[in-house]
Structure 1
Amino acid sequence: MDINELDTPCAVLDLFRMDRNIKRMQEHMEELGVKFRPHAKTSKCVEVVNAQIAAGARGITVSTVKEAEAFFAAGITDILYAVCISAAKLPRILALRRRGCNVKVIVDSVPAARAVCDFGRRHNERFDVWIEVDTDGHRSGIPPAGGELLEVGRLLHGQGARVGGVLTHAGSSYELHTPEKLAGLAERERAGCVLSATRLREAGIPCEHVSVGSTPTAFAAGSLEGVTEVRAGVYVFFDLVMKNVGVCSVDDIALSVMTTVIGHQKDKGWIMVDAGWMAMSRDRGTAGQTLDYGYGLPCLPDGTPLHGFAVIGANQEHGIISRVATDAKSSTADVDIEAEFPLGCRLRILPNHACATGAQHDVLYAIDANAGVTPWQRFRGW
């Protein structure tokens, strides 16, 4: 398949960049002496995850039960379902475990822990449960120093479940953009999670695994003493949010959306393309950062960024590209948009959030070093 034969809009994956991103993260984890468990929610693709495992990753993280089922069917058995489990999903988790999948679930409250224990006792199953702790106030989790942690631990440490570990996610790292602040948050993440494990162990509750992770803090960590594994996901593709955070460059972004110019509004300076929010997603993650790329950064078909342009608007199937001042490389020179971007020409758009943009597509079109294109299927749904 030739890239020029692809129908647009479509998701395009640069394999050279992806492989380089995988190698960079894996080597960093090995330098820090920890196991790396990549988050598969970014790609939801067997071929991508196989590349991560081939590079040295051990086990995967998922965000839906459907991902767990699909990756287990592909032969991956060590799976952490890193969303607090609801009782309604436990039958599917039980089915996976009965088929030989080492799937782990997480909780962050006494009621959730009790539901897992009750279900486990009824079905004669001892679930592997990890406790989520909150180290940065970003989302869910139990305070590492609070009493609820030990209450949940004692409840799980019995028939129907076992405490497999503790984990945290420093999602507030996406809001930072200096090495000093990222390093500080990485240490806060590490210290809080290690404290949680230490308190459980001192209370007589086994806690084997200490799991931390976000792409920015994974790269910013200087020491991971007491941590057994790191989780990160978006690093495999990177995106404009990560570029603004400072953990990658535009040239590291492996995922883009191929689009076709379908019209012009010359008096407004608009280039109309066939990639709207159905192709790009509505994610505006760069809006609150130092550089706002609208709905994405346009590139030439070969991936060369068009600095000074952005996708400024997105309807369902229409994208609007216009000249903007995005960074120091931007050009303010007048451009004849009809001559430079004629009807039918193709562009590639780098996404704000690779996970959200990827989720709009059933297929990733993987481009190799010889410009050959291979379609890779993605999972969708829950």
Structure 2
Amino acid sequence: MTSTLNTLDTPAAVIELPRMMRNIARMQDRMDALGVAFRPHVKTTKCAAVVQAQRDAGARGITVSTLKEAEQFFAGGVVDILYAVGIAPHRLPHALELRRRGCDLTIITDSVASAREIVAFGRAHDEAFPVLVEVDTDGHRSGLHPEGDELLQVAMVLHEGGMRLKGVMTHAGSSYELNTPDALRAMAEQERAGCVMAAERLRAAGLPCPVVSVGSTPTALSATHLEGVTEVRAGVYVFFDLVMHNVGVCAMDDIALSVVTTVIGHQPEKGWVIVDAGWMAMSRDRGTSRQQRDFQYGQVCGLDGAPLAGYLMVGANQEHGIVAREDGIDGDIVARFPIGSRLRILPNHACATGAQFEKYEALSADGDTQAWPRFHGW
């Protein structure tokens, strides 16, 4: 059953399909030109229809952040899956179950203690888990230093313990903190060089390392070459968002996800429009507050998706959003945004906003929408 933006119940998470397909083609074309496989991170969307579009464009395998994602996409026919979060011991039985059912699931680790847990469980169940060792190339989060002793120790524990040491992976999450082409290119090279160095050290020690996996949306779109890399991972590029706009890797009209909301009231003396999308719809993510341009809870657009310059969602309660001019009170606010009129809000962080909804409304070029389910949880 199809609807339109005027007939949807609100708030609604809307994917503008022409934009999404353009984003998918842009990334896949870039990876093809750089000569690497592309393994999209599907945590952004958790949606089978979106992932199918990525696979149709040429993606090879997927990256997930939860084993529930692995379950859902394996059930939908995706076999080659990387679970790109350090494996907790209590999740090894679930990983084993997926592999025994035919899923080619790869797990990751970044410590000797975790590697030993994988080996002990694998040996006890006669399973040679495929494992990547996570490398820290930017001090952002997890991983081992590419020049550190522990990198070799972890790899040795896995290899000598009978697991299938597949290689190394890294994620330059600090790229989200940058905003110039030169800085992004430098971070992309830092990510590449650090991961390749780790791979070379494993090989020099006589250890297998067929996979060298790197990626984030900003570095994937900024790398000038990827010598020594076998695959790239990126996720939010499929929708983009205001954080990525501030980073400088997308234009406003590349952002494919928005929230449609209805005007339900006014506070004229404050210059406020009250809408039915609060933080339960937009999320509490204020990622742009740390960047050069703060979009508060989101950029306000007309129902046609065109940004309304100067208007932001400036506040949010659970089910109420506050729309206002960012530079003062608009005396015509009531007439400009009458009760029952509809707006679209571009999100700070597409992953967080998408996670608030059980489905997307996929908006085609002809103005019709179709419900695309997504899933939640771990």
Root mean square deviation, CA, Å: 0.9
Give secondary structure in 2 for the equivalent of 1:17: helix
Q: Deviations over 1:207-257 (max 9, x none)?
A: 110000000000110010000000000000000000000000110000000
Partner of 1:351: 347
Is the Cα contact below 8 Å between 2:324 and 2:330 reproduced in 1? Answer: no
CA deviation after TM superposition for structure 1 residue 120, in Å = 0.2
Runs of 4+ off more than 3 Å:
332-335
Give secondary structure in 2 for the equivalent of 1:306: strand
CA deviation after TM superposition for structure 1 residue 5, in Å = 1.6
Q: Distance in 2 between matches of 1:297 and 1:240?
A: 8
Partner of 1:364: 360
Q: Deviations over 1:68-106 (max 9, x none)?
A: 000000000000000000010111110110010000000
Instruction: Mark the CA change 1:361 to 1:301 in structure 2 (over 3 Å): closer, same or farther.
Output: same
Give secondary structure in 2 for the equivalent of 1:157: helix
Give secondary structure in 1 for the equivalent of 2:195: helix
Is the Cα contact below 8 Å between 2:274 and 2:322 reproduced in 1? Answer: yes
Q: Distance in 2 between matches of 1:240 and 1:29?
A: 23
Give secondary structure in 2 for the equivalent of 1:361: coil
Q: Deviations over 1:25-75 (max 9, x none)?
A: 000111100000000000000000000000011000000000000000000
Q: Deviations over 1:291-337 (max 9, x none)?
A: 10001001111101111011111111111111015xxxxxx794511
Q: Distance in 2 between matches of 1:106 and 1:270?
A: 48
Partner of 1:328: none
- Unaligned 5+ segments in structure 1 are 326-331
Q: Deviations over 1:150-200 (max 9, x none)?
A: 000000003441211100000000000000000000000000000000000
Is the Cα contact below 8 Å between 1:124 and 1:160 reproduced in 2? Answer: no
Partner of 1:154: 156
Partner of 1:57: 59
Taking the TM superposition and a 5 Å limit, the aligned residue runs for 1:235-274 are 235-274=237-276
Aligned pair count reads 376
Is the Cα contact below 8 Å between 2:271 and 2:329 reproduced in 1? Answer: no
Q: Deviations over 1:263-289 (max 9, x none)?
A: 001000011001011000000000011
Partner of 1:6: 8
Is the Cα contact below 8 Å between 2:128 and 2:162 reproduced in 1? Answer: yes
Give secondary structure in 2 for the equivalent of 1:142: coil
Q: Distance in 2 between matches of 1:235 and 1:33?
A: 19
Q: Distance in 1 between matches of 2:49 and 2:150?
A: 40
Give secondary structure in 1 for the equivalent of 2:266: strand
Q: Distance in 1 between matches of 2:207 and 2:115?
A: 15
Give secondary structure in 2 for the equivalent of 1:5: coil
Give secondary structure in 2 for the equivalent of 1:287: helix
Is the Cα contact below 8 Å between 1:110 and 1:151 reproduced in 2? Answer: yes
Q: Distance in 1 between matches of 2:135 and 2:309?
A: 41
Give secondary structure in 1 for the equivalent of 2:130: strand
Taking the TM superposition and a 5 Å limit, the aligned residue runs for 1:169-318 are 169-318=171-320
Partner of 2:127: 125
Taking the TM superposition and a 5 Å limit, the aligned residue runs for 1:67-86 are 67-86=69-88
CA deviation after TM superposition for structure 1 residue 370, in Å = 1.2
Partner of 1:378: 374
Is the Cα contact below 8 Å between 1:38 and 1:57 reproduced in 2? Answer: yes
Partner of 1:329: none
Partner of 1:340: 336
Partner of 1:108: 110
Taking structure 2 as the reference length, what is the TM-score of the superposition? 0.98
Q: Distance in 2 between matches of 1:276 and 1:227?
A: 42
Q: Distance in 2 between matches of 1:353 and 1:101?
A: 30
Is the Cα contact below 8 Å between 1:310 and 1:322 reproduced in 2? Answer: yes
Give secondary structure in 1 for the equivalent of 2:19: helix
* Percent of aligned pairs sharing the same letter: 64
Give secondary structure in 1 for the equivalent of 2:362: strand
Is the Cα contact below 8 Å between 1:219 and 1:247 reproduced in 2? Answer: yes
- Unaligned 5+ segments in structure 2 are none
Partner of 1:90: 92
Letter of the structure 2 residue corresponding to residue 174 of structure 1: Y
Q: Distance in 1 between matches of 2:331 and 2:309?
A: 13
CA deviation after TM superposition for structure 1 residue 2, in Å = 2.1
Taking structure 1 as the reference length, what is the TM-score of the superposition? 0.97
Q: Deviations over 1:332-379 (max 9, x none)?
A: 794511101001111010000000000000100001111111100001
Give secondary structure in 2 for the equivalent of 1:220: coil
